[in-house]
Structure 1
Amino acid sequence: MSEGLTPLASLSLTHVHYDPTDRISYICAWLALVPQGLCVMYATLIWSTREIEIALLFAGQLVCEALNFALKRLIKEERPRLMNGKGYGMPSSHAQFVSYFAVSMALFLLLRHRPPSPGIRKRNHSPMTMLERIVWSVLGLAMAAAVASSRIYLKYHTEKQVLVGCAAGIVSAVGWFIITTIIRQTGWLAWAIETPVAKWLRVRDLVVEEDLCQAGWEKWDDKMMELKAREKKTR
């Protein structure tokens, strides 16, 4: 019956080898899926918020991935175990991916994000304090460290491959932050947002000064206040 049938292949995008008898190995296998989860998050936020800052962050992530692709084919260093993953192992793409994301988020929260001061507090909105932004930044960096360490534990990469991946991700994040800062300060970003295509796509640049929930929350709050006012009139 099986003669003449084409053998099936495995989609290696989420195919992770781990030791089923080792709980830490099992957790590491889940950590290996963090980059895929972040890509879903990028797509969801870009589509739902139309925030230019998130789109720029994702663009930098793609540049970081292109750099990893080039470095792997330039260095051509094998993985510690050839059965774990396709392609070369230097530098670790997982480590580079999450390092870029975590450092970029920390740079945004600590240097670029400018929420209203407590004295200029918006209606029904308490902006993040500097302490809260530091906490979120540390959590993001800890997540990146956990994902990078999992690649060593699962023997997908050597320690050197992971460290180089982290370094490449950090350099990419800092470099992209500088580039986007220049684009903002020179007015090119403001010009791009005012183009007909950007307006048709409803592109905006609010997250620098407020959180993602604020603008929508104010519209909802206005609607509820209007509804309550109507109910009072009908009594």
Structure 2
Amino acid sequence: MADDPIPLASLSLTHVHYDPTDHISYLCAWLALIPQGLCVMYATLIWSTREIEIALLFAGQLACEALNFALKRLIKEERPPRMNGKGYGMPSSHAQFVAYFAVSLSLFLLVRHKPPSPRVRRRNHTPMSISERAGWSVLALAVAAAVAWSRIYLNYHTEKQVMVGAAAGTVSAVGWFVITELIRRSGWLAWGLETPIARFFRVRDLVIEEDMCQAGWEKWDDKMTALRAKKKQK
């Protein structure tokens, strides 16, 4: 009849199936949302910091997703028999996504990031040590492994699909790191940052040598130091 309500559809972007009686399954459902959370993080950091390194990292992430889309339709391997998802399963997009991010972050922290030497320490800034950067890298890799494992536990993918996804994400991260390093060394990145459009959007490349909030913190600390000195003079 004309007055019958139209059946509602489910937006599957964040629709994760899990066993409500299993606490581990519930945790895995939250782990499955990490890629969406990382996309929000990318957008927030790109807009708030205007750092070209983060924009390049996100560009590589999108290319990694495009590769996953192509591989799934090229391989056309189905998900597990009692699968909890739609579409092809090889390779796992979740595993590929988080592997790319974790490996890229580790390469940045351990190879590309060159903080000032502790002997040249500024009065209001202590750069991260190599052990701290290694710790963050291990944490990122551990979370990526947990997300990849959760796809098997929730029965969205087989072990092989997750392993191939993680391998594809790792290769994508290393390949994109090499490409961006060549762009940096060739001078094309420095040229791009001097273009009118880059200057209009205040695009910068500071995170290579300092943390993202350092410049703002120095300005704030200098202001507070001046205020304290002014109060003492009264």
d(CA) in 2 for partners of 1:158 and 1:16? 17
Q: Which amino acid aligns with 2:167?
A: A
Pairing 1:196–2:196 present: yes
d(CA) in 2 for partners of 1:231 and 1:204? 36
Secondary structure of the equivalent of 1:78? coil
Match of 1:48 in 2: 48
Match of 1:168 in 2: 168
Contact 1:12–1:85 (CA under 8 A) maintained in structure 2:
no
Q: Which runs of 4+ in 1 moved over 4 A?
A: none
d(CA) in 2 for partners of 1:146 and 1:45? 24
CA offset digits 1:150-181 (Å, max 9, x no partner):
00000000000000000000000000000000
Structure 1 residue 42 displacement after superposition: 0.4
d(CA) in 2 for partners of 1:203 and 1:82? 48
Task: Report matched runs for 1:82-231 at 5 Å.
Answer: 84-231=84-231
Q: Which amino acid aligns with 2:114?
A: R
CA offset digits 1:134-165 (Å, max 9, x no partner):
11100000000000000000000000000000
Q: Which amino acid aligns with 2:184?
A: R
TM-score normalized with structure 2 length: 0.97
Pairing 1:62–2:62 present: yes
Pairing 1:31–2:31 present: yes
For structure 1, which runs of at least 5 residues remain unmatched after alignment?
A: none
CA offset digits 1:49-82 (Å, max 9, x no partner):
0000000000000000000000000011111146
d(CA) in 2 for partners of 1:82 and 1:45? 39
Percent sequence identity over aligned pairs: 78
Contact 1:109–1:133 (CA under 8 A) maintained in structure 2:
yes
For structure 2, which runs of at least 5 residues remain unmatched after alignment?
A: none
Contact 2:82–2:155 (CA under 8 A) maintained in structure 1:
no
Structure 1 residue 228 displacement after superposition: 1.7
Q: Which amino acid aligns with 1:168?
A: A
d(CA) in 2 for partners of 1:8 and 1:225? 59
d(CA) in 2 for partners of 1:145 and 1:172? 17
Match of 2:17 in 1: 17
Secondary structure of the equivalent of 1:199? helix
Structure 1 residue 83 displacement after superposition: 5.2
Structure 1 residue 3 displacement after superposition: 4.8
Structure 1 residue 85 displacement after superposition: 2.0
Which of 83-92 and 197-206 deviates more?
83-92
d(CA) in 1 for partners of 2:59 and 2:125? 30
TM-score normalized with structure 1 length: 0.97
Q: Which amino acid aligns with 2:155?
A: K
Structure 1 residue 212 displacement after superposition: 1.1
